[in-house]
Copies of this chain bind each other. A is one copy, B any other.
Amino acid sequence: MEIIDKIGKYDNLAEPFHCDFSHRLFMGNLGNHLLNAADFHSRDRGFGMDYLNSINKTWVLSRLAIEMDEMPMQYENFCVETWIESAMRYFTNRSFRIVSSSDNDTRPKTYGYGRSIWAMIDTETRQPSNIFDVNDGTIMKYVENEKENPMEKLSRVKMADDAELVRTIETLYHDVDINGHINSVKYIEHVLDLFPLEWYRENTLKRFDIAYVAESYYGDRLNFYRETDAEDALAFKIRITKTPSRGGEEVEVCRSKLKFVQPINGFQKI
């Protein structure tokens, strides 16, 4: 059966073990739900990862940004809506909206939005692959350019060269995903783990941006460099580099940007 809806909607529950000390969903777990929604949406429409793999292609997540007015709380049901905002030859822009989905909601509450950029590559050459060649460009049928996403568009994260090295970690069994790469969600968690629990008592993560620059692998050491903002004490940029296990040059793998708010300006902690 062909699915004609351009927008995919996927229900989720903020599971208790996926919530932080403030009883709100961890940003990394929300990111996981967004990536699942993207996967389900594309599978259901004929350009999913499993079909692509069968023709030696795959989706690669290039950027992800999430901006929240409020994080779903423990046991709250929420729905991740996702749609393709635009598709170019080598990239698609995919949007997300996170809304409440409890039965007794008369008017669903919007928790926040997400934006992402995905590239299609050839799994053998690792080169960009033309998205319109897949299933006779079927993806174009699903481009939804009228649904609003009020988030600012993604922009390059510019970083100075003098960011401070704040942590180096080993990659372990749980860091590795089904493709043998370091899991996209784990990078988010490692970045957020750079801030002490006390920080999260006073400050709430409002927006998280991450650009995936290169892949890293089991055994690589990951180095985290932090740049503070002279004009905004609640804004940070983090560069992640890898030092390969066999030695060799340090290479940038991710770049991320965090914007916190204090509860009085943002949403209230319980």
Residues in chain A within 8 A of chain B (CB atoms): 15-21, 23, 26, 28, 32, 35-36, 39, 49-50, 74-75, 172-174, 176-178, 180, 183-185, 189, 192-193, 195-197, 200, 218-219
Contacts and interface: CB of A to CB of B under 8 A. Distances in A.
A238 to B, nearest CB: 14
Contacts of A196: 173
A21 B178 contact: yes
Contacts of A184: 17
B172 A193 contact: yes
Contact of A177 (B21, B49, B177): B21
A71 to B, nearest CB: 13
Contact of A192 (B16, B174, B183, B193): B174
Contacts of A183: 17
Given A15-B32, A17-B36, A36-B16, A193 B178 contact: no
A16 B17 CA distance: 18
